[in-house]
Structure 1
Amino acid sequence: MSAIMGCLSRREPIMPEDMDPAGAYLTKYKWDRIHTWSDAHVFFSCHMQWVTPESVHEVLPLYDERRDITITADAIIDNRSELFDKLQIPLKEQITISDSQLILEAYVKWGEEAPKHLLGDYVFMIWDSRKDQLFGARDESGRRSFYYIDDGIHFAFCSSMNPIFQMPYFNKELNEQWLAEFLAIRGMYESYDVHATAYRNVRQIPAAHWIKVSRQGVELRQYSNFKEIEPLYLNSDEEYEEAFREVFDQAVRARVRTYKQVGTALSGGLDSGTVASFASPMLKADGKELHAYSYVPVSGFEDWTSSRLIADETPYIQSTVNFVGNIRENYMNFAGKSPLTEVNDWLDIMETPYKFFENSFWIRGFYERAQEQGVGVLLTGAMGNFTISWGPALDYYAHLLRRGKLVHLAREVQQYSRLAEVPRAKLLPIIGRKAFPMLHRQRAVAGGTVQIPELIHPDFARKMEMHRQMKPYVVNKETVYINALTARKENINNLAVANKNGAMATKLSMRYGLIERDPTNDPRVVRYCLSVPLEQYVQKGRDRALLRRSTVNYLPDNVRLNQSVRGIQPADWIQRTKPHWKEWVAELQALCKDTLISEYLNVDQIKKGLTKLEHPRPELAWDSEVRMLMHSLIVFRFLRRF
């Protein structure tokens, strides 16, 4: 997708040559056309990537002389037909009108309400000369990143952060508060402050927010969320299944709109298989194949995982490919690649430290292969666990136990035990702990618990008052029933998660010239899935029941009905790292001796973790102390860049 950039000066005019270094920086990304626009106090640019058929002839930034407004955008709009009707776009213009023109028309008609009418992956900024203001927005799911900086005189924005520092007005400074939160948060997201970034003076527009910039200042407002969803009551299971297929077909069809090839990340599971099963027939009708990219363990992998986990999902992937058809397979083991070999490239891509190191080599590898094969859209099912394939059986059974529905519970557990091949004697204690976590917590305290190592230095944590920062986010498990039933909506509405996912998708797309698109995260799909009654998701011993029922004739039964084993990626990262083991240890030892870095990182914990590296074993892949060591190295290399 496109990289956009702009600047507003509230005082002296902007010299276009002052923007040249920032524009030159953006040329490191893939682009098909570069265009700029400026007046005395405003500068816009777009390093455009052509993805959709309409984008090939699109001109961005686009100046509308009649209305005296200008737009630059990084956008694919998915509800074009709906907007044609609402905006009364003439039929002869509907074939060629660009997505940015639709955004502009929506702004003219609805003003600040325009983002509520747009569906898709987008960020945009509009200069409204008559109102003497900038107006922009980020899409509802936050799939495109959008950064800005404001020093009171100059306001600048960009799809990435480093180009902003090429402007003559701003300096790069570390945001210690963001770093403290990154180190302290054990989840995959980065900061509690969804506006913050790793750089002190750079902010980001969160998902589902618009921004308005005038000479008086900056205003941000959230225009949408997924919190209040009306329950959907239909007459039968079949009606829920048909409604799911209809909304998901709509989401996938919107996401294969490209004049290039279409790819998909394909595992042996339900989510990616469902995406492929809907996309493949659509592409076949257009004379295209679906390019599938699948990770497999490195040659000679020692499978240390349990019998209920699959490190190599090839048999299930092949079942999906053979059943669905029209899929060109790419099985990739990424020989010579490991999380350690990827660190510098990912720091360049993300512009910040990152936490997803185990998956780093295969994610980037998929993009590289897809780029070679002329792919413009790479489909994923990343949000599927919280939307289309949601349905945690054991949490639902705990829900039944707490409500005293024992007959229903007994029948469900018996059926689940048979289908999942787990004895009831093992299931019942788990269900009990989930139903009454307070009792389990008291027993765990009495018996001792495993301590997760802290990455942040205790003195740094105190300095940044992390105990106060974290307090609003710590849930009292004695009074609140926390499980997958509540965690689902919290995850979907977590803007920090959206920031992380959007940044990765945006920056990979800019580097490789193709866009990642996730139909399981389409707002229409999300709202439908949140509206469906709980009982549709767990039924007759089936977890993820709605999707399993809805994909009859879409997926093979060994994939569709599989409840006994689960794929895992990548279990081989320790084995992959062995050729560079000594270098890894040496760099961590150097970290421990660096007095500046040791102010931030918990060196005592790192030294303790280093003792485990004396004897590399593949099962260390899940060891929390060893994982902490890789996170430490990533932060170390990032900080050294300052």
Structure 2
Amino acid sequence: MGGMCGIVSLDHTPIDPNLLTGMIEVMRYRGVDGVFSHFTPTTAFAHFAHHTTPTAYKTPQPLVDTASGLILMIDGRLSDREALISRLRPTEGWSDPSPSDADLILRAYLKWGHDCPQHLVGDYAFILWDARAGEMLCVRAPFGIRALHYCHKRHFFAFATDAAPLLGLPWVSREPDLLAVLKGLTATQTEDDDTGFFKDIHWLPRGHTLHLSKKGSHHAAFWAPELSPLIRYREADQYGEHLRHLLTTIIAEGVQSAQPTMGIMISGGMDSTTIAALAKPALEANGHKLIAYNYFKQAPPTYDERPLVRLLMAEMSLETRFIEIEPYFLSLAQMAELTFAEMPSTTIMRLPTESIEHLHKSGGQVMLAGYGGDYFFAGPSLPPHLYQLLRGDLGVLGRFLRASGRRPESLPKQFLGAFVKPLLEVGLRGRKAHATLPVWIRSGSSLYSAFEAHWRARWKASRQFSPLRSLLNAVWQRSGMRDSLLLIERLYADQGLELRLPLMDQRLARFILGIPPDQLYSFGERKTVLRRAVKGLVPEAIRTHKKVPAPDYFQPWAQRMSRQCLPLFSPSRLDQMGVVDDALIRDALKHYAEAAEPGGYFYLHWLCGAELWMRKWVKGEPLVNLPG
């Protein structure tokens, strides 16, 4: 992993070397194994090395291929390498049986040209400069957490893993894109939206390529979830067997490591437990070790998952460390420190130093996590059986009655859970909530009108009672929310660690989108196919455990934070720029501080983070005298 940045002059105007030096200094934290650059009068590239895979050290980057005139850099890693190597093997001059990912991408480009991304699998972003043709190709994987920001202005094209290095260039403005900020605050950005939070800085969407030449630039999707082939089996268990084989392959590839130890964040739920159960033997086969870290907060026994984790420890002989997260919740001053240029948001807690230090001392530089499992395996928000009933399939009722006899709950209770509750939550309350714009947005401006049109369009699209559409939204859009997974990746990179999410894999997405929706959600039981797949793999108590909604762990912290944030909105830069109404936000903060409402801290936290971002990165104000 690591990172990359660079500048290309499209009209041969010389590039000031100091510009690349400035970009490097901002991102130096990503170069755990060094920073390497390549400079010509009209191009400047820098690669931040972090050798976490067995082949990463083989090809120094930037990779300069003098024979073809190509320069390539990759941030990330490829999966399904053996299949790719077998397709490239006939290439003349092949010698290394296990080439680096950079070398594989170069050879893929030489063979397939701009179609090469269609043959790649993994979590990556890469750039390829063709000096002879004067063309640039930028690519970002369909899934994963490797970002690529860019600015194409005047005759210069600049790019970087982070947005902050671009802000130091003289032709890049700090003027914010206020419509994008509002979309971010309301979590209504779509994954194919390339708009950044600064007007001059864009972001390459997942599964897209950006082609740049003297004639201009354009980006296009090279992977679409709608094209997933249908998968149909006669027996339900066959779906589980298929998934088990797929997960075994994906996770074995995902734990390829250059270090002797790997960590995993484990909760006691099925997603992280499945990864641990498959990752441990795969690592041990190579003489490596897996260490689990469970972050917990004191809670009533009903919500405490530590007993499940201890059960996993006993059955798998898995070394596990339990870490109380309460000390790691942030003050406002600490939140300001962890507000990054890439997003108008911030985090609520820092990474527990106990786990970071322990993993480093154990020789590890990679942390696994189960993010993405809830998006993939939980199924659409509207249960398939309810969708079928609304479309007139009365046979659903017969199937429900047959299934109800195998469950301990009473028939009325099962009916409420399978039909009435989902309809109320998704069909009524969800629609009402999405039909009304947040009251704290300042009205009466062109910005408000533009956002209202965007909001209505999003709400209209979400009204379709389609399991596939709902699942596409979960897998393709929600998994790409910029202020969640990318923020977590940044926090780990700051600590010299690479975050890997094995479940964020396009092969897994293709499987999930190809199977019948009732394999994901069947009469109140979510993750149906995953439960079948892990039978005999994880402890039965975990496989059959029905997750109980946990209490609002963040409420005490959020109430304290509401009081600390009040001065930010007296007045706020967001209000001064016509985005929000300070008076309404202050009222909401005071109300929450006195009587917290479940989940209410989300909007308040995002608003406080956006205000810190506006002051720090747009206005360039020193954030001093903040509480904490």
Is TM (by shorter chain) over 0.5? Answer: yes
After the TM superposition, which of the residue ranges 289-298 and 363-372 deviates more from structure 2?
363-372
Structure 1 match to 2:566: 588
In 2, are the aligned partners of 1:398 and 1:434 still within 8 Å (CA)?
no
Q: 2:375 aligns with which of 369, 386, 407?
A: 386
Structure 2 match to 1:468: 453
Structure 1 match to 2:591: 612
* AA matched with 1:507: R
Q: Residue 329 of structure 1: SS of its match in structure 2?
A: strand
The whole-number CA distance in structure 2 between the counterparts of 1:106 and 1:472 is 39
Cα distance, 1:443–1:245 mapped onto 2, change above 3 Å = closer
After the TM superposition, which of the residue ranges 285-294 and 98-107 deviates more from structure 2?
285-294
Structure 2 match to 1:174: 176
The whole-number CA distance in structure 1 between the counterparts of 2:512 and 2:592 is 44
Structure 1 match to 2:604: 629
The whole-number CA distance in structure 2 between the counterparts of 1:396 and 1:56 is 48
Structure 2 match to 1:562: 545
In 1, are the aligned partners of 2:194 and 2:205 still within 8 Å (CA)?
yes
Cα deviations by residue, 1:357-398 (Å, 9 ceiling, x for unpaired): 45x4458876565445432322222111232x3357982442
Cα distance, 1:601–1:192 mapped onto 2, change above 3 Å = farther
Cα distance, 1:500–1:364 mapped onto 2, change above 3 Å = farther
Cα distance, 1:547–1:455 mapped onto 2, change above 3 Å = same
> How far apart are residue 407 of structure 1 and its match?
1.4
Q: 1:329 aligns with which of 320, 327, 330?
A: 320
2:230 aligned with 1:231, yes or no?
A: yes
Query: How is 1:136-285 mapped onto 2 (pairs within 5 angstroms)?
Result: 136-183=138-185, 185=186, 187=187, 190=189, 194-260=193-259, 261-285=261-285
* AA matched with 1:162: A
Structure 1 match to 2:626: none
> How far apart are residue 632 of structure 1 and its match?
2.4
* AA matched with 1:401: L
Which consecutive residues of structure 1, in runs of 5 or more, have no partner in the other structure?
none
Structure 2 match to 1:351: 342
The whole-number CA distance in structure 1 between the counterparts of 2:202 and 2:434 is 39
Q: State the identity %.
A: 20
> How far apart are residue 47 of structure 1 and its match?
1.3
> How far apart are residue 584 of structure 1 and its match?
4.7
> How far apart are residue 604 of structure 1 and its match?
3.1
The whole-number CA distance in structure 2 between the counterparts of 1:540 and 1:460 is 46
TM-score using structure 2 length: 0.88
The whole-number CA distance in structure 2 between the counterparts of 1:116 and 1:443 is 37
The whole-number CA distance in structure 2 between the counterparts of 1:323 and 1:344 is 43
The whole-number CA distance in structure 1 between the counterparts of 2:484 and 2:603 is 21
Cα distance, 1:365–1:585 mapped onto 2, change above 3 Å = farther
Structure 2 match to 1:639: 614
TM-score using structure 1 length: 0.86
Structure 2 match to 1:315: 307
Query: How is 1:52-71 mapped onto 2 (pairs within 5 angstroms)?
Result: 52-71=53-72
Q: Residue 155 of structure 1: SS of its match in structure 2?
A: strand
> How far apart are residue 476 of structure 1 and its match?
7.0
In 2, are the aligned partners of 1:268 and 1:567 still within 8 Å (CA)?
no
Query: How is 1:285-324 mapped onto 2 (pairs within 5 angstroms)?
Result: 285-298=285-298, 303=300, 310=303, 312-324=304-316
Cα deviations by residue, 1:272-315 (Å, 9 ceiling, x for unpaired): 111111111112222322111211105xx5x5xxx9x61x2111
In 2, are the aligned partners of 1:29 and 1:512 still within 8 Å (CA)?
no
> How far apart are residue 509 of structure 1 and its match?
4.5
In 2, are the aligned partners of 1:145 and 1:159 still within 8 Å (CA)?
yes
Q: 1:404 aligns with which of 367, 384, 394?
A: 394
The whole-number CA distance in structure 1 between the counterparts of 2:435 and 2:481 is 30
In 1, are the aligned partners of 2:382 and 2:470 still within 8 Å (CA)?
no
Structure 1 match to 2:579: 600
Q: Residue 410 of structure 1: SS of its match in structure 2?
A: helix
Superposition CA RMSD, Å: 3.3
Cα distance, 1:193–1:486 mapped onto 2, change above 3 Å = closer
In 1, are the aligned partners of 2:296 and 2:322 still within 8 Å (CA)?
yes
Cα distance, 1:16–1:481 mapped onto 2, change above 3 Å = same
Query: How is 1:415-434 mapped onto 2 (pairs within 5 angstroms)?
Result: 415-416=406-407, 418=408, 421=409, 423-433=410-420
Cα distance, 1:365–1:399 mapped onto 2, change above 3 Å = farther
The whole-number CA distance in structure 2 between the counterparts of 1:121 and 1:428 is 42
The whole-number CA distance in structure 2 between the counterparts of 1:110 and 1:426 is 57
Structure 1 match to 2:501: 518
The whole-number CA distance in structure 2 between the counterparts of 1:318 and 1:442 is 38
Q: Residue 136 of structure 2: SS of its match in structure 1?
A: strand
Structure 1 match to 2:33: 32
Cα deviations by residue, 1:402-457 (Å, 9 ceiling, x for unpaired): 310121121223434x2xx5x43234245444686699749998xx9998853422
Cα distance, 1:543–1:220 mapped onto 2, change above 3 Å = closer
The whole-number CA distance in structure 2 between the counterparts of 1:242 and 1:552 is 10
Q: Residue 570 of structure 2: SS of its match in structure 1?
A: helix
Which consecutive residues of structure 2, in runs of 5 or more, have no partner in the other structure?
620-628
Q: Residue 144 of structure 1: SS of its match in structure 2?
A: coil
The whole-number CA distance in structure 2 between the counterparts of 1:212 and 1:526 is 26
Cα distance, 1:513–1:218 mapped onto 2, change above 3 Å = same
